Amino acid sequence: MAHNGDETKAKETKLINKTWVKVVGVLALIAIPVSSFLLWRNQNAGIWQDQNTGGIQKITIAQFGDVFIYAPLYIAIDAGFFQKQGLDVSLISTGGDEKTWAAVISGNASFGVADPTFVAVSESRGQPGRVIGNIVNGVPFWGVTLNPKIKVSKPQDLNGYSVATFPAPSTAYTLQRQMFIDGGLKPNIRETAFGTLLTALKAKQVDIALELEPNVSQSVLGGAKIAYSLASLYGDFALTGLTATPESLKEKPELAQKVVCGIQMSLDLARKEPKSALAILQKRFPEVDPKVAEEALKRLVNEKIIPANAITQQTAWDKAIKLRVQAGDIKNPKPFGEYVDNTFAEKAEKDCRYSPPSNP
């Protein structure tokens, strides 16, 4: 979509520098058809009422910030899946993966949604943690460029190009740095603040911006092209997980199970009823153009960034840990089972599924 003058800049700035939004009663406001989801909700109204009258348990989940790729978390909240589990979930935004984990170990949050490898980093420093759910199962970064001649099919093709990423030690920076190294190249990275990568690209300060959705789809619809996909390059990758302390899991395992169940149901909704999921996300991210949001969600599902279940696969975990070892963040990682507890996700996959009901 093309705009003119100051209005264009204002709208683009509003998209890039995302406004944090809190949504209450979102389903009642959804304008597009979500009939089968609403039918499912009505059929379960009695269950919800029983849990409400029995008391709702309030918990806090820490996150980096409201980011589109955390869609499963927001769907679980706004679609009522956490409520169905008897939970009233509040989010706090920390501004960093390491800060999110710090909020969990300090007791300011019951759970964290962030790069799960920070659990391993923390373990090496004497503070253990556990990954109990998978939120983002791939590398959700795409190299966007305004130069039609740039095409990157292998790391060596980055030769001669500069890339803007989020600042170190972000996962984006670490992955992009490793891609340069894998190509036998000296990393040519411009560390850029969150929300300003596309500005740097348009100002020709860099050749490529390593971006997230929905900014990727916004750029493509505006005439940019995707030069490469880290999702395709890395495949399954434990990028964002649900984390907790061993002590909290021992004291309240049922609470962890309820949270993971809510996540699993949101993963199901995103795949089985993408229009319903899209409607929910549009209410949480109202500044994102509906077409952009649709393309962004489609890309996240098609490239398997949004996983089918909340189970953290060892292959995905090993790739993430290997990257941290290469970056020098971890020297001697422990076995997979020392960091990841899949029992909650495995039970959720079996017992906590969302199935679109048949219309009467």
Q: State pTM to two decimals.
A: 0.80
Per-residue pLDDT tens over the stretch 216-232: 999 999 999 999 999 99
Q: Which helix (H) or strand (E) holds 225?
A: strand 225-229
Q: What per-residue confidence (pLDDT) applies to 54?
A: 53
Q: Which domain holds residue 118?
A: 56-138+237-352
Per-residue pLDDT tens over the stretch 154-180: 999 999 999 999 998 788 898 999 999
Q: What per-residue confidence (pLDDT) applies to 269?
A: 97
* Whether 214 and 248 share a structural domain: no
Q: What is the CATH number of the domain that holds 154?
A: 3.40.190.10
Q: What per-residue confidence (pLDDT) applies to 338?
A: 96
Q: Is residue 4 part of a domain?
A: no
Q: What per-residue confidence (pLDDT) applies to 359?
A: 58
* Whether 222 and 339 share a structural domain: no
Q: Is the pLDDT of residue 32 over 80?
A: no
Q: Which helix (H) or strand (E) holds 120?
A: helix 118-124
Single out the residue of 99, 90, 89, 88 nearest to residue 64, CA to CA. 99
* Whether 159 and 222 share a structural domain: yes
| Residue in this structure with the two tokens 């990257």, named with its chain if needed | 323
Mean pLDDT of 5-25: 38
Domain boundary among 170, 199, 234: 234
* Whether 178 and 199 share a structural domain: yes
Q: How many domains does the chain have?
A: 2
* Whether 244 and 318 share a structural domain: yes
pLDDT category of residue 42 using cuts at 50, 70 and 90: very low
Average pLDDT, the chain: 86
pLDDT category of residue 28 using cuts at 50, 70 and 90: very low
* Whether 100 and 225 share a structural domain: no
Q: Is residue 91 part of a domain?
A: yes
Q: Is residue 358 part of a domain?
A: no
* Whether 251 and 120 share a structural domain: yes
83 alpha carbon, distance to own chain's centre:
21
The bridge status of strand 225-229 relative to strand 142-145 is: antiparallel
Q: Is the pLDDT of residue 358 over 90?
A: no
CA dihedral 117, 309, 351, 248 (to 10 degrees): 10
Q: Is residue 26 part of a domain?
A: no
Domain boundary among 234, 256, 279: 234
Per-residue pLDDT tens over the stretch 62-113: 999 999 999 999 999 999 999 999 999 999 999 888 899 999 999 999 999 9
133 secondary structure, DSSP code = E
Per-residue pLDDT tens over the stretch 261-299: 999 999 999 999 999 999 999 999 999 999 999 999 999
